[in-house]
C-alpha cells in the first residue's frame, strides 16, 4: 500500500516561514547552514518550504545556530509537535486524492473561510444527500469508494470546532435553480442554507440574476485565512487539478474580487428572501 504524503498544515507553514526568516535575518545562506549543522541541503530546503517536518533535534540545532532565545525555541517546538499530530483526515480514508486532502488540512486550521460558488452549494453547507448526488454528477469518473470517502470527508468537515471559523459565503442564484437530485433533496438543502444563514459565524449572500455579468462567472474559489501571521491561501478546484495560490499578488487579487462580489450581491436579509422563494418554488 502506498503511503499517503503528509499534507502541510497551517502550523507547519508558519514554522517553515519563521525558519526562513530567522536564517535570512542571520545573514546565512542555506549552504552555510547545511555545512555548519550537517543537515542535508535538500532536507533544509524541504523544511523551509513546509514539505517536510523536522525532527525536534534538527529544529533545536537550527534555532541554536540562529541565536533564538530558549523561550521562543520552546514555543516553536510546541508548534512542531502540534503539526506532527495525526488529524482525522489522515486516518479517515485512503481514497482521497492528495490535493483534496491538502485542502481539507488547510481548511481545518483556517480562522476564516471566504467562499464564492457559481455552480454548487459550498461543501461546508451541503447536506449529505446533496453531496452524495453532486459529487459523482460533477466527476462521473470517480470510483464508488472515492465518492463515499468524499461524502464522509465533507460531512466531517462540517463538525463544529472551537473556536468556530468565520464563514463568508457568496452563491450565484444559478445554484438555487440547478436541481441536484429530486425535490426532496433540494428542499432539504435550501432549508439547510436558510438555517445556516442565521448562525452568528456565517454570512451568506446571493448574487441575483439581475446583477448581470460579474467577475465570479469565471469560476468558484475559496480564500482560507489563518491566524498567527500565516499567509492566506487561495484554493481553486478544477476538473483535472486543484490550484493552491499563496503569492501576495494572487491573495490581493482574489480578496479584491471577493469584495467586489460582496458589493454586488444581495444583502444577507435579501438573500434569505431569495432562498425562501426558491424553497417555495421547488417541485
| pLDDT at site 98 | 64
Residue 9 CA neighbour count, 13 Å, CB half = 20
Architecture of domain 10-84: Orthogonal Bundle (1.10)
| pLDDT at site 80 | 87
How much is the average pLDDT of 145-153?
Answer: 91
Whole-Å CA distances, 245 to 2, 134, 237: 27, 25, 11
Q: How far apart are CA 178 and CA 214, in angstroms?
A: 19
* CATH dotted code for 90-281: 3.30.870
How much is the average pLDDT of 267-271?
Answer: 98
The residue assigned the cell 497551517 is 10
CB 236 within 8 A of CB 243: yes
Most confident residue range from 49-58, 69-78, 167-176: 167-176
Let me know the angle formed at the C-alpha of 245 by 165 and 224, rounded to the nearest 5 degrees.
5
Burial 241-263 (b: 16+ CB within 10 A, else e): eeeebeeeebbeebeebbeebbe
Q: Where are the domains of the chain?
A: 10-84, 90-281
Cβ neighbour number for residue 142 with a 10 Å cutoff: 16
Whole-Å CA distances, 280 to 147, 176, 273, 274: 30, 12, 11, 10
pLDDT digits (tens, 9 = 90+) for 213-226: 999 999 999 999 98
CB 26 within 8 A of CB 62: no
How much is the average pLDDT of 198-224?
Answer: 96
Given its phi and psi angles, is residue 219 left (phi above 0), alpha (psi -120 to 50 degrees) or beta?
Answer: left
This prediction has a pTM of 0.75
Indicate the Cα dihedral angle 213, 216, 219, 224, nearest 10°: 180
Cell numbers found for residue 262: 460582496
Reported as a pLDDT band with limits 50, 70 and 90, residue 89 is very low
pLDDT digits (tens, 9 = 90+) for 14-67: 788 789 889 999 999 999 999 999 999 999 998 988 888 899 999 999 999 999
E strand segments, the chain: 112-117, 166-172, 202-207, 221-225, 233-237, 242-245
Instruction: Provide the residue count of the chain.
Output: 283
Cell numbers found for residue 111: 480562522
Let me know the angle formed at the C-alpha of 29 by 23 and 31, rounded to the nearest 5 degrees.
120
- Do 10-84 and 90-281 show the same overall fold? no
Amino acid at each position: 500500500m502506498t503511503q499517503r504524503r503528509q499534507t502541510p498544515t497551517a502550523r507547519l507553514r508558519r514554522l517553515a516561514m519563521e525558519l526562513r526568516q530567522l536564517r535570512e535575518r542571520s545573514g546565512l545562506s542555506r549552504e552555510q547552514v547545511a555545512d555548519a549543522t550537517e543537515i542535508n541541503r535538500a532536507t533544509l530546503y524541504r523544511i523551509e518550504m513546509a514539505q517536510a517536518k523536522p525532527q525536534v533535534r534538527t529544529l533545536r540545532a537550527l534555532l541554536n545556530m540562529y541565536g533564538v532565545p530558549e523561550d521562543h525555541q520552546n514555543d516553536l517546538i510546541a508548534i512542531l509537535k502540534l503539526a506532527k499530530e495525526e488529524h482525522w483526515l489522515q486516518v479517515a480514508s485512503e481514497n482521497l486524492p492528495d490535493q483534496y486532502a491538502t485542502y481539507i488540512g488547510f481548511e481545518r486550521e483556517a480562522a476564516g473561510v471566504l467562499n464564492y460558488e457559481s455552480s454548487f452549494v459550498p461543501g461546508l453547507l451541503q447536506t449529505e444527500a446533496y453531496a452524495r448526488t453532486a459529487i459523482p454528477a460533477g466527476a462521473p469518473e470517480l470510483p464508488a469508494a472515492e465518492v463515499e470517502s468524499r461524502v464522509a470527508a465533507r460531512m466531517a468537515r462540517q463538525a463544529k470546532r472551537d473556536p468556530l471559523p468565520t464563514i463568508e459565503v457568496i452563491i450565484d442564484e444559478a445554484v438555487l435553480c440547478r436541481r441536484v437530485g429530486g425535490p426532496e433533496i433540494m428542499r432539504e438543502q435550501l432549508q439547510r442554507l436558510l438555517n445556516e444563514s442565521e448562525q452568528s459565524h456565517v454570512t451568506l449572500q446571493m448574487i441575483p440574476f439581475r446583477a448581470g455579468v460579474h467577475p465570479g462567472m469565471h469560476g468558484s474559489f475559496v480564500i482560507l485565512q489563518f491566524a498567527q501571521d500565516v499567509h492566506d491561501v487561495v484554493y481553486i478546484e478544477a476538473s483535472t487539478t486543484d490550484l493552491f495560490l499563496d503569492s501576495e499578488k494572487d491573495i490581493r487579487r482574489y480578496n479584491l474580487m471577493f469584495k467586489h462580489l460582496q458589493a454586488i450581491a444581495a444583502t444577507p436579509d435579501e438573500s434569505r428572501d431569495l432562498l425562501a422563494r426558491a424553497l417555495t418554488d421547488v417541485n
